[in-house]
Amino acid sequence: MSEQTLYEKIGGEEAISKVVDYFYNELVLNDPTVNHFFDNTDMEKQRKHQTKFISFALGGPNQYSGASMAKAHEGVNIQPEHFHAIAKHLHAALAYHGIGEEDINIVIDKVATLKDDILYK
């Protein structure tokens, strides 16, 4: 029997979609240190892309067809403090939805591997 993926463990795309909605609506868009990055963003499209991306990153099906991380963040000039604020909000959104600390750390570690593709672009 194969081991359950983190994607399956936390409830699949439906659960991840709820985390993403909370992440943006309650945390990111209310944080003046990072919300300006989304001033001209179609948030419905952003939420869908983020849900597909996180789903894939956690072992779900690869439905993500967006730009590469480097391309998606080109010209944005995200600094380390912005990256850390987003990671903190992701941690809080996952915890809010009952994801355990051990699993949250796995998610945050996966996000951290993208840091070089996101910062200073």
Binding-site residue positions for heme: 49, 73
- Please state, in angstroms and rounded to a whole number, the distance separating the CA atoms of residues 73 and 119: 8
Give the separation between CA 106 and CA 113, rounded to whole angstroms.
11
Phi, psi of 88 (to 5 degrees): -65, -40
In this structure, how many other beta carbons lie within 10 angstroms of the beta carbon of residue 99?
20
Give strand pairing partners of 119: 78
Annotated binding site: 49, 73
